[in-house]
Each structure stands twice: as structure tokens, then as C-alpha cells.
Amino acid sequence: MNSSRLCSHSPYFSLCYRSFIPSLRSHLLLTLPLSRYPSLRKLAPLRAPRRTRKLDSFCSPSISSSMASPSQSQGDPSEARPFSVLFVCLGNICRSPAAEGVFRDIVKKRGVDSKFQIDSAGTIGYHEGDLADPRMRAAAKRRGIQITSISRPIQPSDFQNFDLILAMDKQNREDILGALERWKFRETLPRDAHKKVQLMCSYCKKHDDTEVPDPYYGGPQGFEKVLDLLEDGCESLLDSILAQE
């Protein structure tokens, strides 16, 4: 086709423009942190914040099915499949890798580590391939907790592979659900995938905080606060999951 004929008034140009712009916008929304670019939020399909269930009444269908009796599990009939948990924050270098490390430490100390698959991810891929923030690793090490995860962004398959996806704050949860809304049009994902997404602090019993704050731009006390919340929430999280066995 002669390129000189592709003017802005031609039907072909209009069709290409309408097809290209939405895909470009979706790509930007998936790769840019909406919390740092407020002007982009109006472009993203936002959901109204969902009321977080209290711990004592929370019973996710995924928890019940994953910790099912051996006869109900898939694969090896003599053993239930591991319950899978994914922790998510913005860049996957501070809060979510710390949550992964804390939860791994707790399940190991309780002798149930073989029953779990644990990982972490970020809503953006800016730090993909990086180790966790050295300040976060140092703070955790002082408590005897090792953080060895490598940063990665959340991906569509996570909604299939994980039974529970825990966001560190409300913006993380909003971004996760926004990505799910876009991905479900081109991926085969569980219909109830949105039910897997919860807030980490919904499991805290000793703290009234509703979010795990990002310590990246703060001082040492911020990293200690994160670990305090995560240790509280992860202990209760494990109790909740094991109670469904």
C-alpha cells in the first residue's frame, strides 16, 4: 500500500490508530508504577476497595481446596499438594521479599515447610533480577531471617499457580487487580482469581495497621516496622491456613 495515501483522514489510518493506542496504553499501565504517576490512574480500570474480611471469618475456597485430604489432592495420592502463597509489593525489593523470608522462616520453625510453596513479586519490573534492598536484608538478618529472593514482576500465571496473593498495601492490591482485569482478556485465568488477592495486614493481630508501609525512602526504623508487621501477620496467616486442614 502506498504510504503517501495513509493520511490521518483515511479509514485505514483511523483503524490502525484505534488498535495501536489501547495496546500501547495497556503496556504502559502494566509497566509504570501508578502510585508514582497519579495522572495515569484515570486510564486504569479501577475497582472500589473491597472490604477485607476479619481473620477469624476468613476462609478462602483456595485454602480449603489446597489443604484438602490426600485422597482429594492431585498428583501423588499419598500427599496433599503444597499450599502456595505469593507476596507482592511495588518493586519486590523491600516488603514482599521480606514477607517471603519471614514466612519461610516461620513455616520451617514449625516443621511444615514441605506443605508450602512461597514466592514474592512486584507490580513493576523495574528491579527485575536484583537482590532485595541491602537495608532490608540486614534488618532481617539481625532477627535471624535470610532474604535470598530475586526481584521479578507479577505475571498472569501467578493467578493460576498461587492459592493466595498478599498485597502489602491498598495501591498494590489495586494494581494487581487492575492487571488481572487486563490479562483475563488474553489469558485463560481462574474465574475467581480476584478472590485470591488479600491485604497482608488483614492477618495482623497485634497491630492495627491496615497496610505495610514502604520503607524505601525512610530510615532504619521503617525496615524494623515492616518486619514487626510481617512477623505478626505471617504467624496468623500460618495459623489460618493450618486451621483449614
Question: Annotated catalytic residue: which of 81, 94, 95, 104?
Answer: 95
| Cβ atoms of residues 131 and 122 within 8 Å | no
Tell me the three cell numbers of residue 108.
520451617
Q: ∠ at Cα 148 (147, 153), nearest 5°? A: 100
**Catalytic: 192?**
no
**Catalytic: 95?**
yes
| Angstrom distance (rounded) from CA 168 to CA 44 | 20
Q: Residue 59 phi/psi, 5° resolution?
A: -150, 85
DSSP letters spanning 222-239:
HHHHHHHHHHHHHHHHHH
Q: ∠ at Cα 162 (91, 180), nearest 5°? A: 65
Rg (CA), the chain: 20
Question: Annotated catalytic residue: which of 89, 94, 201, 204?
Answer: 89
**Catalytic: 214?**
yes
| Cβ atoms of residues 131 and 185 within 8 Å | no
| Angstrom distance (rounded) from CA 245 to CA 34 | 38
Question: Annotated catalytic residue: which of 175, 214, 232, 234?
Answer: 214
| Angstrom distance (rounded) from CA 168 to CA 84 | 17
Residue numbers annotated as active site:
89, 95, 214
